[in-house]
Structure 1
Amino acid sequence: MLDHDALLARVRKLLAKAEDPAVTEAEAESYNTKAAQLIARYGIDRAMLAAAGTSADEITTIKISLDNPYSRDKAGLLTNIAHPLRCRALLHRWGQTVTAVTVFGFRSDLERVELLFTSLLLQATTQLTRVRPVNAFRGESLAAYRRTWLHGFAGAVHVRLQKSEANATQEHSASQTGGQSAELVLRDRNALVKDAYDDQFGNLQTAPPRRLSGSGYLDGHVAGERANLGTTGLRGGRAAIPAR
């Protein structure tokens, strides 16, 4: 079982290989997929250790500040990362701006959420500076395109993380020779997080779905399917998405 530092070291090596211009697209995808698998495995390993009483992993919160432009879309990306990793998210709003997101979950899962969000927001930011709507000549604004692009990116990330978590759970269960089932442990943890969230904020109403008019969803979804579900480190600021 890998400890935190060893896992990050392996993820860095895999992503460095994937970024090497000499490797093929298929090889790069293989390296990126392996990085995502390691992060999922780490989450399950920490959950099983906590269930066995050999390590501490309590429910707590982190609050991640956001800024404009596209604060609501950044919050959507964060939420789409948090939910597959068995965490809950509460958005702090000021008018139409999301100023921060509080994420509830077990400490090891919150660590993974923050790590992935930092990396994926940077990836999205880098790509948004290059992409443009094909219908720009028809009057579509760049801002509308970018909002839907980020929505598609976040949706693809959500699906990929769900698959990574499910595959890691199945692999762990197949390798077990005794003890608690990984599936049951994770189900219990998910229920505990939900109960902790509901105790504090269960009376809040869910915001209605947004209506977005841009044409960038499919382009963003494709980019999210190709995004690296790993990171090169825990520290470092998040890049700002340009307003125009």
Structure 2
Amino acid sequence: MSSTSGAVERAFAAALYAASDSALDTGASLLAADPGSDTELARRGEEFVAAAWRRGWQPADLVRVVRRELEDVHVRLAGGLVLDESRRDRRPRDRRWTAQLAELAEAGAGERAPRTDRFSYATAVLELYRLLLRLPSIEPLDAPDDRNGPRAAAAPHDTRMLSRIRALLAKAEATGFPEEAEALSAKAQELMARHSIDEALLAARTHAADAPGACRIGVEPPYETAKAVLLDAVAGANRCRAVWNEALGFSTVVGFDPDLEAVELLYTSLLVQATAAMTKAEAAQRAGGRKRTKSFRQSFLAAYAHRIGDRLAEVAAAAEASAARDPGAVAEGALLPVLAARDVAVTDRAERMFPDTVTTRMRGITDEAGWQEGSAAADRAQVRARPPLR
């Protein structure tokens, strides 16, 4: 064992398996006293990252949990390790994995954290490694038969359609007029539903080896329960299943790839719209002399999630009925069996991934004004079927 490796091993033995600050200081002092240890320290960090992949984590998950538990300096260190490890990773990765790496690079996650002094740097590295070492195993997102490579179904879909949907949702988020936001969100949901139906029929006609996939979406504080309910509503309306991991701050969404795309896009947009509407409603309450608290915001978001779920379900049903009546798009009676088969496949995959789940009761919904305002905001953002926008 080289002296450099020995310094790293002694630092790890002192700091990584103990929770005390004094143990952390001891390990950081050992590393700070050996400038030659940096290369070995980085190599060991990449090993911790690779071990996280084997325990079911993905790049976005790892960076998200570091951001949740530690500080910005640790996020930068983690981003650098993820990108460095990816350059040595020889395993075939799917489209979502590759997109996560690209997003990290574009966001500058791999930029090195400013170096202050060796002791502070070593302390941050050991804090990060201690977190990585203690990450639990989570459900792998690839199916058992996908372990030797990505699924064929993970190929990119209609990027033009997705670009149209993103543009509509961006306008809905930016507008200050509720009626315009409603119309834009409605059109986006219609396109999502029709896109999903088209993909399902294409797979059935070509006998493609299509199968449900899964992705994880962060559910960040505050008001995580209401946000998880909103995500569940969006997932259900788009033929997906969502399972919330409260402790780790994400929901796993199971579904076919076009539907997973729709859930990610729509949930993100509706959360932005709900937050903006909540801020506006709370300001109006304060202007009227009524001081509102956390209970108002929690009740607002809970009502919004409940109400928007109804609206999304209406859109999904309307799109399905419209497609079934369109003789130029689908043979008579062909659509419902195709969609039913996909529903069964999604349910089966979700139950195999999560054989033991519990229902969570939403607490803290005690503010009547918050509930009423949230319901009204959801009505303004409703996504029922409408004629195409010209």
Do they superpose with TM above 0.5? Answer: yes
Task: Give the structure 1 partner of residue 268 of structure 2.
Answer: 118
Task: Give the structure 2 partner of residue 80 of structure 1.
Answer: 233
Q: What aligned pairs does 1:159-178 form with structure 2 within 5 A after superposition? A: 159-176=310-327, 178=331
Contact persistence 2:243–2:251 (CA under 8 A): yes
Task: Give the structure 1 partner of residue 193 of structure 2.
Answer: 40
In the superposition, the TM-score normalised over structure 2's length comes to 0.50
Change (3 A) 1:72 1:14: closer
Matched, 1:71 2:224: yes
Q: Deviations for 1:206-226, whole angstroms, at most 9, x for unmatched residues?
A: 234535212211211111122
Change (3 A) 1:58 1:129: same
Measured in 2, the distance between the counterparts of 1:20 and 1:128 equals 15
SS in 2 for 1:210: coil
Measured in 2, the distance between the counterparts of 1:144 and 1:86 equals 31
How far apart are 1:130 and its partner, in Å? 2.1
Q: Which runs of 5+ in 1 are unaligned?
A: 230-244
Task: Give the structure 2 partner of residue 236 of structure 1.
Answer: none
Measured in 1, the distance between the counterparts of 2:163 and 2:220 equals 31
Contact persistence 1:15–1:32 (CA under 8 A): no
Matched, 1:192 2:345: yes
Match of 1:156 among 293, 307, 314: 307
* Larger RCO (CA under 8 A, 6+ residues apart): 1
Measured in 2, the distance between the counterparts of 1:147 and 1:51 equals 43
Q: Which has the larger helix fraction?
A: 2
Contact persistence 1:81–1:161 (CA under 8 A): yes
Change (3 A) 1:209 1:179: same
- Identity of aligned pairs, percent? 33
Q: Which has the larger strand fraction?
A: 1
Change (3 A) 1:225 1:55: farther
Task: Give the structure 2 partner of residue 183 of structure 1.
Answer: 336
Task: Give the structure 2 partner of residue 224 of structure 1.
Answer: 378
Measured in 1, the distance between the counterparts of 2:181 and 2:169 equals 9
Change (3 A) 1:145 1:187: same
Q: Which runs of 5+ in 2 are unaligned?
A: 1-156, 384-390
SS in 1 for 2:253: strand
Change (3 A) 1:30 1:199: closer
Match of 2:252 among 96, 102, 108: 102
Measured in 2, the distance between the counterparts of 1:103 and 1:131 equals 31
How far apart are 1:61 and its partner, in Å? 0.9
Measured in 2, the distance between the counterparts of 1:220 and 1:93 equals 23
How far apart are 1:103 and its partner, in Å? 0.8
SS in 2 for 1:197: helix
Q: Letter of the 1:166 partner, please give it.
A: A
Contact persistence 2:199–2:258 (CA under 8 A): yes
Which of these two proteins has the greater Rg computed from alpha carbons? 2
Task: Give the structure 2 partner of residue 233 of structure 1.
Answer: none
Contact persistence 2:300–2:373 (CA under 8 A): yes
Q: Deviations for 1:59-113, whole angstroms, at most 9, x for unmatched residues?
A: 111111222111222111111100111111111122xxx6111111111111100
SS in 2 for 1:101: strand
